[in-house]
């Protein structure tokens, strides 16, 4: 929500982001935005400056499954993507339910209240907005703001509240609100309905509308507050043979159907005649005068609106036939507002809204900034009296040159970098200054730069055959079912999995086709963003069949394709690409796998959906690009395009698409695969490294091959078979640090020519379990199993973590869980039934095969029958509105990285410790509703032992299941499964650690004066083999120097 007061010096703006770091984890918006993570029912939140917000009737939960990932501009403010990327929906999200927000403490005045939603897939989102001094609207008055914004103008009296009513539709929500004070206390709008009960009998409009059935010549009509209207030159008669039958919103005010369904026309209705309306008694100020007509069959209706004696020479409304027109005027003390009706013998005027705005441009303010790799753009609003030439800027403490141009009462400021772009995912401080009223005004804000990939000009190709445009497309298909996984599909392309290629090779060159565009569907159907729209737009492009599909068995499943091309980048700068796929893809830029940068990816299965990704090219040129696309079952489609600078398929030159060439460079030997790849993010901290080099016209000298990590030899295993050189580093479970950037350096020689190439990746963020206050020694566990407390409600409760925690505290109603087999809790703060679970957490409300673990009859670790949820069905035979708490001490037998999986219908949260606290160390969570689905989460254990863990699980309606397991990425086993599962206990003995064991780390390795210099924390250990054993280096202190002589030595720090 954004609340901006433009005219009162003591209040400028309040901007509220609903959702913050919750929901999809979009993050808090930068200052001066106020970020609300969640809203609990009846909770009052301090927004600052004496203003507060209270949620009534229900609470609100964050979410957004389809965020826009970009900023926007609403009502003169820049709304950051952090605010748009999440939203609040009502806790009990049944369609048709309602909940209110009340905002108190705003000073009296006229406000624009803007609500917005960032969900890109929502079809409709409406609400009610009103002031405490007004009646609640009978129906929504925002119009739809799904995926965008809506603004309603209201007038607040002193001490009055601003109200927002959320109309839940079980889809989308409200991402934020902008309440902008456009003037100090002014007169309420005058809203006049011309026609009323006369004419076609549409009826009088509801209060505060003033209904005038007809107007006689020279008749004076009281409009209230000392304002009058007089008809001159002629009278007016009501009519409307073609009413619209629906309401509308004009100038932020809801116009009821009664006002639109009739109109007044001039008594003598000969075309070309005229008559005036005179409005007297308006107070001095600036006004929006809006006229509208409801006749749906009228083609033109114009008028003149002016003040005093300055009648326009011609109409100045533009046509408002079937719609509205607004003219802004300024009225001095005692001046008259005039309306002249220009009769055309068709239609008339259905109504008039006279709204005082008093737009005060004496208070310019910095309304925000958009950041990108290439610079930023900023907006100074309310700057009607500001000279754009006085604007200056300081970026991150440095004075910069900016351009500033007037745009109405705003100034648009732009800055472009000279050379290196602003770093990806960086946050910057911006101070803007300008001269106003003889003094210098300064305001500050922050802006962020989104994620993008930076492409080195070194990978641009100097010699490209541009004679054939398009792409080289290779298609392979398997008779076997293949998982939707990028690494597996790379193996499919190499022929390592999937068996024989069953794609149809008709008209191909060994399963390679030259194609003009990448816009394909297995059925030539309208999938994705580009299809036969019949509208002539750049997206009106017919889908083509996928070459080779259906395959020789008539199948359209288990397809993998490789797309190679050279893209011409005409100028340096930021380019936004998009890939729409069913199922997954990965796009990279570079000449082979070693110098390539992964720029976009979706690893997994999905229906036709778009992943957008930004790339910054430092220099223009021709760049090799490669995409792997794959599909498992069901639909199959893929499209490759740009969003910016033009929304167009690559190589669709008629629509502004970037030119591409069906060309592939040749090498004496090329690196065809590296894992992890250059530019990869979120890499597993235990990942091994593999490289594949294939001989082409030359041969790799196996003895010349070396692979270093961060400049250090790490014992790579090198082999060669049938012209393929394989390089593998087995890290034996060693961990990189969270968010560590790792660089691999490869060197090899082909027929006497040596190549050196490097690439980098970033390790994913992860948690390291603290030992102090939590851990006891191995072997201290007692009473194997779990303690499970189950609570069931009679009423409906939202699927959200805070609501279920409230249920488990007894704050949402009495418990209905069946106590059979358990014990009623005696703790009033922890109500429910307590059960001892001796086995595993693998439950379903019906004891049916839900989730992953089920009765398969094959003896595998997955072959585990579901059990009934303890206490369910409840005492009233219900299986809904369940909350459960699971307490355990889990034994981790050795240090390392552990991964858990919680499969749930609906949500869950796993934390360290047994305390029910929102501040507990969170290991994994899904807050919301879903069918049986997995959430995978990982963490590092530095010191083996037993750690207390608490899981909460909950279900709202429909299915209900939960599973708690662990995985090493190749196998999956339930916790406490006797066949290899992590052990869980209900109790333990022994002393809890009181001090944290310091984990060591090597922070840097450098070559200096012929020695290897190692900077480290903790204890430095060495070994002659990468797998150990490692012994402490006697007397080693950081930094430690060692001569690179003799046999290989490997170092770690613990």
In a domain, 504, yes or no: yes
Distances (CA, A) of 118 to 19, 80, 92, 638, 917: 11, 11, 21, 25, 30
* Cα–Cα nearest to 238, from 210, 258, 266, 204: 266
Strand ranges, E, within 311-451? 324-331, 337-342, 351-356, 365-372, 375-381, 392-395, 398-400, 403-407, 410-416, 427-436, 439-448
In a domain, 666, yes or no: no
In eight-state DSSP terms, residue 461 is B
Give the CATH number of the domain where residue 916 resides: 2.60.120.1560
Tell me whether the omega of the peptide bond preceding residue 906 falls within 30 degrees of 0, making it cis.
yes
3-state helix, strand, coil in the chain (%, to 5): 5, 45, 50
Write down which residue in 762, 781, 802 finishes a domain.
762
Residue 956 CA to residue 37 CA, distance in Å, equals 22
| Residue 699 and residue 774 share a domain | no
544-545/519-521 β-pairing: parallel
* Whether the Cβ atoms of residue 41 and residue 410 lie closer than 8 Å to each other: no
| Vertex 678: Cα angle to 674 and 681 (nearest 5) | 110
Residue 946 CA to residue 771 CA, distance in Å, equals 9
Tell me whether the omega of the peptide bond preceding residue 1029 falls within 30 degrees of 0, making it cis.
yes
| Vertex 443: Cα angle to 442 and 448 (nearest 5) | 140
Residue numbers of the domain that contains 1018:
1001-1053
| Residue 17 and residue 153 share a domain | yes
For the stretch 809-834, pLDDT in tens is 999 999 999 999 999 999 999 999 99
In a domain, 670, yes or no: no
Residue 239's CB: how many other CB atoms inside 10 A? 16
| Residue 924 and residue 795 share a domain | yes
Write down which residue in 325, 356, 387 finishes a domain.
356
| Residue 518 and residue 386 share a domain | no
Q: Supply 929's token pair.
A: 């509703």
For the stretch 926-956, pLDDT in tens is 988 889 999 999 999 989 999 999 999 999 9
* Cα–Cα nearest to 69, from 493, 579, 611: 611
Q: For 839, phi and psi rounded to 5 degrees?
A: -100, -115
Residue 675 CA to residue 695 CA, distance in Å, equals 19
| Residue 758 and residue 736 share a domain | yes
Taking the model in full, what pTM does it have? 0.69
Strand partners, 167: 98
* Whether the Cβ atoms of residue 168 and residue 89 lie closer than 8 Å to each other: yes
pLDDT at 1019: 81
* Whether the Cβ atoms of residue 927 and residue 801 lie closer than 8 Å to each other: yes
Burial class (CB in 10 A: 0-12, 13-18, 19+), 270: exposed
pLDDT at 197: 66
Q: How many distinct helices (H) and strands (E) make up the chain?
A: 4, 81
| Residue 566 and residue 619 share a domain | yes
| Per-residue H/E/C for 540-556 | ECCCEECCCCCCCCCCC
724-729/717-721 β-pairing: antiparallel
* Cα–Cα nearest to 206, from 281, 280, 258, 146: 258
In a domain, 674, yes or no: no
In a domain, 673, yes or no: no
Contacts for 700 with CB less than 8 Å, ≥ 6 apart: 669, 693, 720, 725, 748, 749, 750
Q: Supply 493's token pair.
A: 């392309």
pLDDT at 7: 34
Residues composing the chain? 1054
945 Rama sector, left if φ>0, alpha if ψ -120 to 50, beta otherwise: left
In a domain, 995, yes or no: no
Residue 107 CA to residue 50 CA, distance in Å, equals 10
Residue 16 CA to residue 162 CA, distance in Å, equals 14
- Write the DSSP assignment of 43-56 as a string of letters: -EEEEETTEEEEEE
- Write the DSSP assignment of 911-961 as a string of letters: EESS---TTS-EEEEE-S--SSEEEEEEEEESS-EEEEEEEEEEE-SS--E
Number of domains, the chain: 7
Q: For 923, phi and psi rounded to 5 degrees?
A: -100, -40
pLDDT at 166: 94
Residue 1038's CB: how many other CB atoms inside 10 A? 16
| Residue 417 and residue 301 share a domain | no
| Residue 922 and residue 906 share a domain | yes
Residue 961 CA to residue 999 CA, distance in Å, equals 38
Residue 820 CA to residue 803 CA, distance in Å, equals 26
Residue 4's CB: how many other CB atoms inside 10 A? 24
pLDDT at 6: 32
End-to-end Cα, the chain, rounded Å:
48
In a domain, 671, yes or no: no
* Whether the Cβ atoms of residue 356 and residue 186 lie closer than 8 Å to each other: yes
* Whether the Cβ atoms of residue 898 and residue 767 lie closer than 8 Å to each other: no
Give the CATH number of the domain where residue 733 resides: 2.60.40
In a domain, 881, yes or no: yes
* Cα–Cα nearest to 149, from 271, 249, 22: 249
497 Rama sector, left if φ>0, alpha if ψ -120 to 50, beta otherwise: beta
Strand partners, 180: 112
| Residue 687 and residue 817 share a domain | no
pLDDT < 70 regions, the chain: 1-12, 21-26, 133, 183-188, 197-202, 358-363, 997-999, 1026-1027, 1046-1048
* Whether the Cβ atoms of residue 908 and residue 933 lie closer than 8 Å to each other: no
Give the CATH number of the domain where residue 386 resides: 2.60.40.1220
| Residue 615 and residue 742 share a domain | no
Residue 157 CA to residue 282 CA, distance in Å, equals 19
Give the CATH number of the domain where residue 136 resides: 2.60.120
Q: For 399, phi and psi rounded to 5 degrees?
A: -70, 130
Q: Which residues of 644-666 are buried (b: 16+ CB within 10 A; e: fewer)?
A: eeebbbbbbeebebbbbbbbeee
Q: Supply 494's token pair.
A: 């190499």
Burial class (CB in 10 A: 0-12, 13-18, 19+), 995: exposed
* Whether the Cβ atoms of residue 189 and residue 155 lie closer than 8 Å to each other: yes
| Vertex 65: Cα angle to 64 and 66 (nearest 5) | 95
| Residue 485 and residue 562 share a domain | yes
| Residue 565 and residue 599 share a domain | yes
Residue 434 CA to residue 443 CA, distance in Å, equals 9
pLDDT at 3: 30
């Amino acid at each position: 929500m954004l609340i901006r007061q433009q005219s009162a010096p003591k209040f400028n703006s309040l901007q509220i982001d609903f959702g913050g770091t919750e929901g999809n984890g979009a993050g808090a918006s930068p200052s001066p935005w106020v970020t609300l993570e969640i809203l609990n029912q009846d909770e009052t939140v301090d927004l600052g400056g004496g203003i507060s917000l209270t949620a009534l009737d229900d609470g609100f939960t964050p979410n957004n499954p389809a965020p826009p990932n970009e900023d926007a501009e609403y009502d003169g403010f820049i709304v950051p993507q952090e605010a748009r990327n999440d939203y609040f929906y009502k806790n009990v999200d049944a369609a048709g339910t309602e909940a209110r927000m009340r905002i108190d403490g705003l000073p009296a005045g006229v406000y624009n209240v803007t609500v917005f939603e960032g969900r890109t897939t929502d079809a409709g989102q409406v609400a009610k907005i009103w002031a405490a001094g007004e009646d609640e609207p009978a129906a929504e008055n925002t119009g739809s703001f799904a995926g965008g914004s809506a603004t309603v103008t209201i007038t607040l009296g002193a001490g009055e509240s601003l109200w927002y009513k959320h109309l839940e539709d079980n889809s989308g929500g409200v991402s934020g609100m902008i309440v902008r004070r456009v003037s100090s206390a002014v007169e309420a709008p005058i809203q006049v309905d011309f026609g009323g009960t006369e004419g076609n009998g549409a009826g009088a409009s509801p209060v505060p509308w003033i209904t005038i059935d007809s107007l006689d010549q020279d008749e004076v009509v009281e409009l209230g507050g000392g304002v009058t209207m007089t008809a001159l030159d002629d009278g007016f008669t009501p009519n409307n043979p073609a009413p619209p039958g629906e309401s509308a919103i004009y100038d932020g005010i809801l116009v009821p159907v009664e006002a639109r369904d009739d109109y007044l026309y001039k008594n003598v209705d000969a075309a070309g005649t005229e008559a005036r309306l005179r409005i007297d008694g308006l107070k001095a100020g600036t006004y929006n005068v809006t006229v509208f007509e409801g006749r749906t069959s009228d083609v033109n209706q114009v008028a003149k609106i002016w003040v005093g004696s300055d009648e326009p020479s011609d109409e100045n409304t533009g046509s408002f036939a079937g719609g509205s027109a607004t003219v802004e005027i300024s009225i001095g003390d005692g001046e008259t507002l005039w309306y002249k009706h220009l009769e055309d013998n068709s239609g008339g005027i259905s109504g008039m809204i006279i709204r005082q705005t008093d737009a005060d441009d004496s208070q310019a303010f910095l309304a925000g900034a958009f950041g990108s790799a290439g610079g930023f753009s900023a907006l100074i609003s309310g700057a009607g009296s500001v000279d754009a030439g006085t604007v200056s800027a300081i970026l991150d403490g440095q004075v910069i040159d900016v351009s500033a141009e007037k745009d109405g009462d705003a100034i648009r400021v732009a800055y472009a970098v000279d050379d290196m772009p602003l770093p990806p995912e960086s946050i910057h401080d911006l101070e803007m200054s300008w001269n106003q009223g003889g003094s210098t005004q300064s305001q500050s804000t922050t802006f962020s730069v989104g994620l993008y990939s930076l492409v080195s000009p070194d990978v641009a190709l100097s010699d490209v055959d541009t004679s054939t445009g398009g792409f080289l497309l290779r298609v392979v298909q398997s008779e076997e079912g293949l998982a939707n996984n990028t690494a597996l599909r790379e193996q499919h392309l190499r022929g390592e999995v999937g068996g024989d290629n069953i794609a149809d090779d008709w008209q191909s060159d060994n399963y390679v086709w030259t194609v003009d565009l990448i816009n394909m569907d297995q059925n030539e159907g309208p999938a994705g963003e580009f299809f036969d729209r019949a509208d002539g737009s750049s997206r009106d492009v017919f889908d083509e069949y996928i070459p080779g599909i259906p395959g020789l068995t008539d199948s359209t499943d288990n397809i993998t394709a490789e797309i190679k091309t050279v893209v011409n980048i005409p100028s340096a700068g930021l380019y936004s690409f998009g890939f729409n796929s069913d199922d997954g893809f990965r796009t990279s830029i570079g000449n082979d796998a070693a110098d390539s940068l992964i720029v976009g990816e979706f690893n997994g299965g999905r229906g036709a959906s778009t992943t957008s990704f930004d790339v910054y090219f430092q220099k223009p040129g021709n760049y090799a690009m490669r995409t792997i696309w794959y599909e498992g079952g069901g639909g199959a489609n893929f499209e490759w395009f740009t969003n910016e600078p033009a929304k167009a398929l690559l190589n669709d030159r008629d629509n502004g698409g970037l030119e591409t060439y069906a060309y592939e460079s040749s090498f004496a030997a090329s690196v065809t695969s590296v894992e992890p790849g250059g530019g990869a993010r979120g890499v597993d901290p235990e990942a091994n490294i593999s490289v594949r080099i294939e001989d082409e016209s030359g041969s790799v000298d196996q003895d010349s091959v070396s692979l270093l990590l961060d400049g250090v030899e790490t014992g790579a295993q090198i082999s060669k078979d049938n012209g393929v050189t394989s390089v593998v580093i087995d890290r034996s479970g060693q961990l990189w640090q969270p968010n560590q950037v790792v660089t691999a350096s490869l060197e090899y020689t082909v027929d006497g020519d040596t190549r050196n190439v490097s690439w980098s990746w970033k390790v994913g963020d992860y948690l390291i379990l603290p030992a102090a206050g939590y851990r006891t020694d191995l072997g201290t566990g007692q009473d194997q199993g779990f303690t499970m407390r189950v609570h069931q409600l009679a009423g409906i409760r939202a699927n959200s973590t805070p609501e279920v925690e409230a249920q488990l505290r007894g704050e949402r109603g009495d418990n209905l869980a069946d106590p059979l087999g358990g014990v009623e809790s005696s703790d009033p703060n922890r109500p429910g039934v307590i059960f001892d679970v001796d086995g595993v957490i693998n439950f379903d409300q019906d004891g049916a095969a839900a989730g992953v673990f089920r009765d398969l009859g094959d003896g595998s670790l997955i072959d585990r029958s579901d059990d009934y949820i303890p206490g369910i069905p409840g005492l009233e035979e219900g299986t809904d509105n369940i909350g459960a708490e699971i307490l355990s001490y889990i034994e981790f037998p050795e240090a390392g990285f552990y991964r858990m999986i919680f499969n749930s219908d609906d949500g869950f949260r796993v934390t360290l410790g047994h305390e029910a606290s929102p501040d507990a160390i969170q290991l994994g969570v899904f807050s919301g509703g879903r069918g049986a689905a997995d959430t995978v989460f990982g963490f590092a254990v530095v010191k083996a032992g037993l750690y207390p863990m608490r899981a909460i699980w909950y279900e709202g309606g429909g299915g209900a299941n939960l599973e708690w397991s662990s995985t090493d990425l190749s196998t999956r086993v339930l916790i406490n499964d006797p066949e290899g599962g992590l052990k869980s206990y209900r109790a333990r003995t022994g002393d809890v650690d009181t001090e944290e064991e310091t984990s060591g780390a090597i922070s840097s390795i450098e070559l200096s004066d012929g020695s290897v210099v190692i900077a480290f924390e903790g204890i430095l250990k060495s070994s002659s083999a990468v797998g150990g054993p490692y012994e402490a280096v006697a007397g080693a202190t950081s930094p430690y120097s060692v001569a690179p002589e003799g046999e290989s030595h490997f170092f770690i720090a613990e």
